[in-house]
Amino acid sequence: MTTLFEPFVAGALKLANRIVMAPLTRNRSPGAVPTGLAVTYYSQRASAGLLVTEATAISPQGQGYADVPGLYAPEQLQAWKRVTDAVHAKGGCIVSQIWHVGRVSHTELQPGGVAPVAPSAITAKTKTVLIHDGVPAFVETSAPRALGLEEIPGIVADYRRAAVAAVNEAGFDGVEIHAANGYLLDQFLKTGANVRDDAYGGSIENRARLLIEVTQAVAGAVGGGRVGIRLSPVTPANDIVDADPQPLFEHVVRQLAPLGLAYLHLIEGATGGPRELPDRPFDYRALKAAYRAAGGRGAWMVNNGYDGKLAEQALADGADLVAFGKWFIANPDLVRRLREGAALNVPDKATFYGGGAKGYTDYPAL
């Protein structure tokens, strides 16, 4: 019987177990530079088979929340190198989640105070985080402008450049492309945010084009075995929706299959919410079958609302890896606690976004 605690190989990533720390935005990187607290935070959790960092912007334009880190300046890469060195010193494996928020941003966070970019000029009915005088506040996102066709190759190049910097300069074992939760790549995928009438809009093939081009570029630059991708077929996060997600995502995974990716990271249901959405049914088994039938061999990672018991059942049902989010915030030694059936610390929601060590590096281990 497969267990969470067995070693596993996902592409070029050698994992000590099948437990993954999911990406968790914490808003503790002033000036987009991780601090020494981040070194402590990630190294405390290095017993996870795989650590996926908080979403990290590929460019200044890709920023959408206050005090989130980047991968586009030397001081950011140097700071991340201290993180990866600390994780590796404890035998851990860590990848950077590379991110462009698209329309989920605010003019205050954009270079020169300009409008955020998006596939189409449709404002996301959601909020982002600004921090003034150390106090985080949720504010409405700004109205975006549609990316020009001539700008899209530059977006692809930014993803490629960030991936190369993450692996070659910051010392990450790989990258995870963030194509979920209503951010830029997800916006291009879904009809609720994309009403373009050019090669990147309209048909499923066109709406999926940017995601596939980005993934091809990143895999070509650092090797498919060092690349994962995060998808959320039906989450309503950040005001995102698609009229018919099943054929869309089955097309996406068939296109990803030949790229030799390390893993596909699937958010089941609503991110941070219900695993089943009656108004948005989706067949994840059919999605996985489409990927495997097309030759996809990447590990299948599941995410959303898992505890130890549910995770073991997921493995029995054919998942390869299980990602845990909020439980890793409060339990730096989550792997040990799951193995021993120990009680779990309860996360303090008031400290999730912004702040210092409190609620970040001060949760006790057993």
| Dist CA 131 CA 136 (whole Å) | 4
In the predicted structure, residue 136 carries a pLDDT above the cut 90: no
Q: Which of 42, 183, 306, 363 is catalytic?
A: 183
* Residue 364 resides in a domain: no
* Residue 214 resides in a domain: yes
The CATH number given to whatever domain includes residue 265 is 3.20.20.70
Could you please report the per-residue DSSP string of 37-52? HHHHHHHHTTTSSEEE
* Residue 284 resides in a domain: yes
* Residue 153 resides in a domain: yes
What tens digit of pLDDT does each residue of 231-280 get? 999 999 999 999 999 999 999 999 999 999 999 999 999 999 889 888 89
* Residue 252 resides in a domain: yes
What tens digit of pLDDT does each residue of 148-170 get? 999 999 999 999 999 999 999 99
CB 118 within 8 A of CB 73: no
**What pLDDT, on a 0 to 100 scale, did the predictor assign at position 1?**
79
**What pLDDT, on a 0 to 100 scale, did the predictor assign at position 102?**
98
User: Average pLDDT in the 20-41 region?
Assistant: 97
In the predicted structure, residue 325 carries a pLDDT above the cut 90: yes
Q: How confident is the model at residue 135 (pLDDT cuts 50, 70, 90)?
A: confident
* Residue 39 resides in a domain: yes
**What pLDDT, on a 0 to 100 scale, did the predictor assign at position 133?**
86
CB 94 within 8 A of CB 51: yes
**What pLDDT, on a 0 to 100 scale, did the predictor assign at position 155?**
98
263 given a catalytic annotation: no
* Residue 365 resides in a domain: no
* Residue 362 resides in a domain: no
| Dist CA 141 CA 153 (whole Å) | 25
φ, ψ dihedrals at 130, nearest 5°: -115, 150
| Dist CA 62 CA 55 (whole Å) | 11
Which domain covers residue 31, as residue numbers?
8-351
What tens digit of pLDDT does each residue of 177-231 get? 999 999 999 999 999 999 999 999 999 999 999 999 999 999 999 999 999 999 9
What pTM value is reported for the model? 0.98
Number of domains in the chain: 1
